[in-house]
A and B are shown apart, each in its own frame.
Chain A
């Protein structure tokens, strides 16, 4: 057995174990694997959970999801798991727990794994009618990636009501887009607030949220999809 990096050393120095070293842990000492992941990668995992939950959870709620992730890993490591690419296993578990946490916060019942191809095809079709369509289609991929990283931060900065409504909207996007009705959005918000939410007000809040997202992106210099062209 290859000597594993000394556990206490990794605890003391927050030494970032390589993926290969973590594979080694999982293969040789699965019982210690989760501890090694925790001491070496907890910051990265927490940031990933924040990313998948899109900044809608409080710090305590995020800690709950982190705990659920670690518990799931402990349970998984008691079974025979493939030690190759052990971090893939960690990300997979973390993503599932984070999506569960996100939908729980939004009081949406089941985990819905949307179809990437359909959603991206919709976006492409919508771009055909937009003034910035061509500009976006041929934009530098790095600039598009910048949007991914920036959006969570922008949405997190919205007032709470707008933040929840916009997150619900994007979580239910396929359904709302297809039906072009906002009643399901108002109903979903009612489940969170515990009172009747009328469509007019919810739609207004959503428009206000979209306006803020757009202007905040513009303020941060992200002009690809925030400026109309003639």
Chain B
């Protein structure tokens, strides 16, 4: 029994737990998550005649299309990478290929930079 086995089992249990709600015929009302303030507000804002409006064909998205999700948080990525490197990410074949590719990119970039410097000198 090792740490990796524990992590794999942890992931497996969480995956099955999250998926359980997809398989149940009906929810357990006591196990449903609470709504936060903004979810409550948007629900209340639907109004008393919401269904009548839907029946009349009055539908529009509530989502502001300009507010796309942003998961490109460069600083966060750097922190996570530093975190994982500190903890010695296990380097499997896939990671090894990726690291070698990155290293090669870096070498090529340095080479180009050196050539540029040489020609400019």
Considering only CB atoms, which chain B residue lies closest to A179 in the complex? Answer: B94
Contact B50–A70 (Cβ < 8 Å) = yes
**Residues of chain B within 8 A of A97, CB atoms compared:** none
Number of contacts between A and B (CB, 8 Å)?
229
**Residues of chain B within 8 A of A214, CB atoms compared:** 10
B19 located at the interface, meaning its Cβ lies under 8 Å from any Cβ of chain A in the complex: yes
**Residues of chain A within 8 A of B107, CB atoms compared:** none
Find residues 96-130 in chain A having any chain B CB closer than 8 Å to their own CB. Answer: 99, 105, 113-114, 116, 119-120, 122-123, 126-127, 129-130
Report how far A169 CA is from B18 CA in the complex, Å. 12
Contact B55–A74 (Cβ < 8 Å) = yes
Considering only CB atoms, which chain A residue lies closest to B81 in the complex? Answer: A204
Contact A160–B73 (Cβ < 8 Å) = yes
Find residues 8-50 in chain B having any chain A CB closer than 8 Å to their own CB. Answer: 8-23, 25-29, 31-36, 38-39, 41-43, 46, 48, 50
Minimum CB–CB distance from A180 to chain B (whole Å) comes to 8
Contact A116–B70 (Cβ < 8 Å) = no
Considering only CB atoms, which chain A residue lies closest to B38 in the complex? Answer: A59
Minimum CB–CB distance from A198 to chain B (whole Å) comes to 6
**Residues of chain A within 8 A of B13, CB atoms compared:** 123, 126-127, 136, 147, 225
Report how far A226 CA is from B11 CA in the complex, Å. 11
**Residues of chain B within 8 A of A38, CB atoms compared:** 50-51
Contact B12–A126 (Cβ < 8 Å) = yes
Contact B48–A11 (Cβ < 8 Å) = yes
B121 located at the interface, meaning its Cβ lies under 8 Å from any Cβ of chain A in the complex: no
Contact check: which of B7, B62, B71, B92 meets A164 at CB < 8 Å? B71
Report how far A130 CA is from B11 CA in the complex, Å. 11
Contact check: which of A42, A67, A148 meets B20 at CB < 8 Å? A148
Interface on chain B toward A: helix, strand, loop, or mixed SS?
Answer: helix
Considering only CB atoms, which chain B residue lies closest to A65 in the complex? Answer: B62
Contact A59-B95, Cβ < 8 Å, known A120-B16, A204-B89: no
Interface 1/0 per residue, A50-76 and B, CB below 8 Å: 111011001111111011001100100
B106 located at the interface, meaning its Cβ lies under 8 Å from any Cβ of chain A in the complex: no
Contact A50–B35 (Cβ < 8 Å) = yes
B119 located at the interface, meaning its Cβ lies under 8 Å from any Cβ of chain A in the complex: no
Contact B35–A170 (Cβ < 8 Å) = no
Contact A61–B63 (Cβ < 8 Å) = yes
Report how far A34 CA is from B41 CA in the complex, Å. 21
Contact B25–A170 (Cβ < 8 Å) = no
Interface 1/0 per residue, A145-157 and B, CB below 8 Å: 1011101110110
**Residues of chain B within 8 A of A123, CB atoms compared:** 9, 12-13, 15-16
B72 located at the interface, meaning its Cβ lies under 8 Å from any Cβ of chain A in the complex: yes
Instruction: Provide 16 A-B residue pairs closer than 8 Å at the C-beta atoms, listed in order of the A residue.
Output: A44-B29, A47-B32, A67-B59, A122-B16, A123-B16, A126-B12, A130-B10, A136-B13, A148-B17, A156-B33, A159-B73, A160-B71, A161-B76, A180-B92, A208-B83, A210-B10
A residues contacting B by CB (< 8 A) are: 11, 34-35, 38-39, 42-44, 46-48, 50-52, 54-55, 58-64, 66-67, 70-71, 74, 87-88, 91-92, 95, 99, 105, 113-114, 116, 119-120, 122-123, 126-127, 129-133, 136, 144-145, 147-149, 151-153, 155-156, 159-162, 164-165, 169-170, 173, 177, 180-183, 189, 192-193, 195, 198-201, 203-205, 207-208, 210, 213-214, 225-226, 228
